[in-house]
Amino acid sequence: MKTNSQPEVVKMTLAEYEAQPQSNRGVWTTERTDLPNWAAERHLYVGKRTLLWNSGAQGTALLIEGLGLEIAE
């Protein structure tokens, strides 16, 4: 049995992303001042498109543009 803590990268076009239910996609706006390295890591999250993705056996994951989610314009 293969175990992997990192989900595979999901690649889709902008049209495919926009076709996802609006309740499953958005843009990260939440500031996480509770995380110790937030100031250094903020650029990886804030302003990036997000998608709740059902990856089958691994369950549902939050994908972040640049971190598991690639959207081709």
pLDDT in tens, 11-51: 999 999 999 999 999 999 999 999 999 999 999 999 999 99
Buried b (16+ CB within 10 A) or exposed e, 18-46: eeeeeeebeebeeeeeeeeeeeeeeeebe
Contact 71, 65 (CB under 8 A): yes
pLDDT at 5: 58
Note the pLDDT of residue 29: 97
Q: Provide φ and ψ at 37, rounded to 5°.
A: -105, 20
The more confident residue out of 21 and 6 is 21
Residue 5 or 59, more confident: 59
- Residue 49, burial from CB neighbour count under 10 angstroms (0-12, 13-18, 19+): middle
Q: What pLDDT was estimated at residue 40?
A: 96
Task: Look at 44 and 8; give whichever has higher pLDDT.
Answer: 44
